Structures are given as structure tokens and as C-alpha cells.
Amino acid sequence: MSINPNVLTADNLVDATGGGVVWHRLHSEREDICDALLNECAPDHDAQAESMSNEGAMIAANWHRELLQTRLRKVDDALDRLMSGSYGNCSKCGKWIEDTKLEFDPAIAFCLDCWERMQTPH
């Protein structure tokens, strides 16, 4: 069995970084997102939203909730990849994602080539 030095697992992240920096960063963001979603769904928030006569405000609130839910799925997927040992590899082609891109967004799932291909209409 060959070992790919570019594959990061939770164990070697803790060893390599002295505390699982990526896991902690992702987990912290996950907690923040969950808190924000819970605050949006609080009863007083719902009552306030219902009393709004401005349809634009309701649309903005729904858009914000959807944005948070989308980001939560990306963070959860990144945590799953981290625990499975595939973190840092493109979810589509398996190629290593550049460290600078992972530092910018630790939940990134695709290399630049695959991301660009997915953005191009077929």
C-alpha cells in the first residue's frame, strides 16, 4: 500500500500542526453557522419577520438562510473529507488542491481546473 504524503488525515493534521488547526477552524465555523441559523429561527425573529410588510426584507432573510445552509453543507463535507483522509484532494479528479487555496477557504472541494470546468456552461 502506497502512502500519499499530500493526503491529510485528522491524525497527521494534529501531529503536523500541533492541534488540528484545520479541524478546529472548520468546526468553529460550523458552530458559528449553526448559531446564526438558530438565531434566525428563534420565535421572536419569526414573529418579527412575519410582521414585516417589506417583501424585500423577507426575500433577503430567506437568501441569507439559504447561504448559511449552503456553507454549512460545504463545511460538513470538508470535515467528512478530513476524517476520511481525502482532505486536500479535489473531490472530482483527486488532484491536490493548492495550500494557498486551502488556507483561504479550508472547505474548498475542487482544484482550480475542475472548478473552472464546472463554471463553464455545457
- pLDDT tens-digit series, residues 43-99: 655 555 555 557 878 888 899 999 999 999 999 999 999 999 999 999 999 999 999
Q: What is the structure's pLDDT at 37?
A: 94
Burial class (CB in 10 A: 0-12, 13-18, 19+), 60: exposed
Whole-number Å distance between alpha carbons of 49 and 41: 10
Q: What stretch of H or E contains 39?
A: helix 21-40
Q: Name every residue whose Cβ is closer than 8 Å to that of residue 6 and which is 6 or more positions away in sequence.
A: 88, 89, 96
Q: What is the structure's pLDDT at 106?
A: 96
Q: pLDDT tens digits for 21-57?
A: 999 999 999 999 999 999 987 665 555 555 555 787 8
Q: What is the structure's pLDDT at 72?
A: 98
Q: What is the structure's pLDDT at 14?
A: 43
State the amino acid at position 47 in one-letter form. A
Lowest mean per-residue pLDDT among 4-8, 15-19, 23-27: 15-19
4 pLDDT above the threshold of 70: no
Q: What is the structure's pLDDT at 18?
A: 34
